[in-house]
């Protein structure tokens, strides 16, 4: 039997609601992941749709095609940045769910909300490809990514507080995980004022997460090595 009533878990759901959970080996757990992985795969592949073939006059001219593609270089950079950004979230999601013993209705719904912002990302990406120098573009992109990271934290805390993890995390590991989820929010928030000075500099802020990740490993408490929240 896949669905299980959370015995004794009534205290967490104040309205007297009995929480239904689906175990790791249930069809329902698998479906949530199939759906999520499909949505990620599509969001990442749809990015290529914004790469439009340029119109040139002399169809044989290497020079003219090279120039036309060069003019669109921001679109290509945007494709690879967004593929990396969404890909990193997928790795984080993969890592997070590897810690779950079961899911509940709350995780299913929060995961949907999280996916709404993943599915939306191709739009800011297209904006970035076209109006790279516009500070507003950076703001929209940064807010979108910050919301995704924020939702990641919400999912993480739900799992910790509703007994969905294989092993409830000790407080220091939980705090470390939450910090790792929050850190991109900070770097993306930081990029917003920077965007009004220089959009290139703002985009570079987004990559501060990489050196930060290396540094943060020093503070990593024991038992946290399976967590990669991004």
What residues numbered 189-218 form the site for its own copies, per CB under 8 A? none
Between CA 114 and CA 91 the distance in angstroms is 15
Q: What is the secondary structure of 16-82 as a DSSP string?
A: -PPPEEEETTSHHHHHHHHHHHHHHHHHHHHGGGG-PPPP-SSTT-HHHHHHHHHHTHHHHHHHHHH
Residues 80, 22: Cα–Cα separation, whole Å? 36
Q: Which of 10, 23, 65, 158 binds its own copies (CB under 8 A)?
A: 65
Q: What gap in Å lies between CA 217 and CA 225, rounded to an integer?
A: 9
89 contributes a contact to its own copies by CB under 8 A: no
Count, residues near its own copies per rule CB under 8 A: 76
- Find the shortest distance in angstroms from Cβ 182 to its own copies: 22
CB of 79 to its own copies, least distance (A): 7
Q: Which of 108, 154, 186, 208 binds its own copies (CB under 8 A)?
A: 108
Task: Give least dist CB 212 to its own copies, A.
Answer: 16
Among 10, 12, 83, 189, which residue interacts with its own copies (rule: CB under 8 A)? Answer: 83
Residue number with CB closer to its own copies (120 or 157):
120
CB atoms < 10 A from the CB of 111, how many? 22
Binders of its own copies among residues 127 to 166 (CB under 8 A) are 127, 129-131, 133-137, 166
Structural tokens at position 121: 């990302």
Structure-token pair, residue 22: 């689906």
Asked if 17 touches its own copies (CB under 8 A), the answer is: yes
Name the segment binding its own copies (CB under 8 A); options: 57-65, 168-176, 181-189, 201-209: 57-65
Q: End-to-end CA distance of the chain: give it in Å, rounded.
A: 34
Q: Which is nearer to its own copies, 61 or 73 (CB)?
A: 61
């Amino acid at each position: 039997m896949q669905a299980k009533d959370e015995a004794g878990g009534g205290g967490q759901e104040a309205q007297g609601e009995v929480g239904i959970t689906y175990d790791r080996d249930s069809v329902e757990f698998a479906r949530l992941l199939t759906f999520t992985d499909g949505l990620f795969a599509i969001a990442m592949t749809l990015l290529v749709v914004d790469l439009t073939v340029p119109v040139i006059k002399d169809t044989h001219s290497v020079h003219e095609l090279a120039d036309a593609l060069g003019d669109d270089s921001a679109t290509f950079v945007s494709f690879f940045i967004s593929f990396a950004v969404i890909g990193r979230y997928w790795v984080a999601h993969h890592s997070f769910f590897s810690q779950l013993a079961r899911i509940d209705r709350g995780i299913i719904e929060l995961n949907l909300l999280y996916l709404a912002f993943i599915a939306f990302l191709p739009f800011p990406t297209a904006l970035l490809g076209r109006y790279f120098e516009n500070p507003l573009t950076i703001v929209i992109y940064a807010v979108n990514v910050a919301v995704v990271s924020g939702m990641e934290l919400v999912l993480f805390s739900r799992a910790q507080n509703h007994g969905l993890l294989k092993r409830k995390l000790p407080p220091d590991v939980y705090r470390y995980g939450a910090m790792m989820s929050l850190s991109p929010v900070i770097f993306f928030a930081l990029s917003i004022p920077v965007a009004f000075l220089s959009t290139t500099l703002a985009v570079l802020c987004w990559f501060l997460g990489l050196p930060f990740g290396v540094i943060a490993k020093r503070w990593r408490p024991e038992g946290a090595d399976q967590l990669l929240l991004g």
